[in-house]
Amino acid sequence: MALKIGMIGAGGVAKVHALEYDENKETELIAIADIDDKAKEEFVRTFSVKKVVSDYREILKDTSIDVIDICLPHFLHKEVTVAAFKAGKDVILEKPIASTLDDADEMIETAAREGRQFFVALNQRFLPAHQKLKEMIEQGDCGKPFLALGIIIGDELTRMNRRDNWKGSWDKAGGGALIDTGMHIIDLMHYFFGIPKTVNCDFGRFVVEHENKGDDNVVVILKYDDMIANVVVTYSAISDNWSEKKDIYLTNASLHVISEAEKPLYKIENKGEPHYIDVPHDTNWWVYSVRRGIAHFIDCVINNREPLVKPEDARMALHTILRAYESARADSFHAMERI
């Protein structure tokens, strides 16, 4: 019997989640909740659901629903996630896990106490190019890594330039580019190399107008015992298409992923031409990786297996980001704590 899915939040990313539920034979999307009538109307024009409500608590009361998928602004994550666990539901949550470590801890503890599965959608770990990249680093044939670069060239100016929009606001999002899309690159650095020893950061609000908004440009340095990882994120590139690139320099070769490319993963040796490595891919890689992550979690729920991405991974990514923000404000390097 298919898992019954109830979604809370009908905005942009929710439609990507719903695509997977619509086509996955193991799931049935039966309910959507959102206080925004326009968002609900747009959602149900594309997806057929039996229950359409404004109050998410109505969905939590539905005993037929197995999994709650939460696609809400960051400041609502803890309240709704904890309520879902207490209602006996497994949870899929869009990143970040929360805006504070205390909230993240309460969510993780509630999931454990209630015996529920908890998956935070750090979808970039499910891009095959990233999985193969990690495998090649760990195999050791390319040598030891000494420098990693993660770069996101993006544009979120429309929403960030609206004072009343939650996107990028300190109070409702917890920050700007770093805690939002930058979360993915920080998590990938953890995925590839583990937890850094120190973190240093500088950020600014150079293009976004409103003072209640966070960083629209940010640079982070993660220092390990024997390497450095640099993360650069802009939300101000209105002239360019969205682009994400990861470059790993090792003692015998360099490895590169350009997410939007038709052939995303390649290796360079001896100053030669790129050698492209075959991996499953879709140039609409964001949708592709989000759907792969959701399909993985659904399989874990059905087969009672632990997901590859644990909520503690999402907490650690948040921890690094909060330390990065602290470093920027203090203008100093901050030591990471292993928690």
CA diameter of the chain? 61
Interval 241-270: pLDDT, tens: 999 999 999 999 999 999 999 999 999 999
Q: Can you give the C-alpha Rg of the chain in angstroms?
A: 20
Interval 215-234: pLDDT, tens: 999 999 999 999 999 999 99
* pLDDT score for 197: 96
CB count, 10 Å around CB of 202? 14
Using the predicted structure, report yes or no on whether residue 337 has a pLDDT greater than 60: no
Interval 106-140: pLDDT, tens: 999 999 999 999 999 999 999 999 999 999 999 99
Using the predicted structure, report yes or no on whether residue 334 has a pLDDT greater than 90: no
- Token reading at 65: 């629903």
Domains contained in the chain, CATH given: 3-121 (3.40.50.720), 125-282+317-335 (3.30.360.10)
8 A C-beta contact, residue 235 and residue 168 = yes
Query: Taking the alpha carbons of 294, 3, 13, 88 in that order, is the dihedral positive or negative?
Result: negative
8 A C-beta contact, residue 90 and residue 304 = no
8 A C-beta contact, residue 314 and residue 120 = yes
- Tell me whether the omega of the peptide bond preceding residue 96 falls within 30 degrees of 0, making it cis: yes
* pLDDT score for 180: 97
pLDDT mean across residues, the chain: 96
Instruction: Give residues with Cβ within 8 angstroms of 309, minimum separation 6.
Output: 119, 120, 122, 125, 293
Tell me how far CA of residue 337 lies from CA of 99, 179, 244, 320, 325, in angstroms.
18, 18, 28, 9, 15
8 A C-beta contact, residue 261 and residue 272 = no
Query: Taking the alpha carbons of 249, 252, 254, 255 in that order, is the dihedral positive or negative?
Result: negative
Nearest to 215 by CA among 207, 199, 202, 204: 204
Residue identified by tokens 């109050």 is 55
- Token reading at 177: 């580019």
CB count, 10 Å around CB of 133? 24
CA atoms within 13 A on the CB side of 335: 3
8 A C-beta contact, residue 182 and residue 152 = yes
- Token reading at 336: 């990471």
How does residue 339 score in pLDDT terms, banded at 50, 70 and 90? Answer: very low
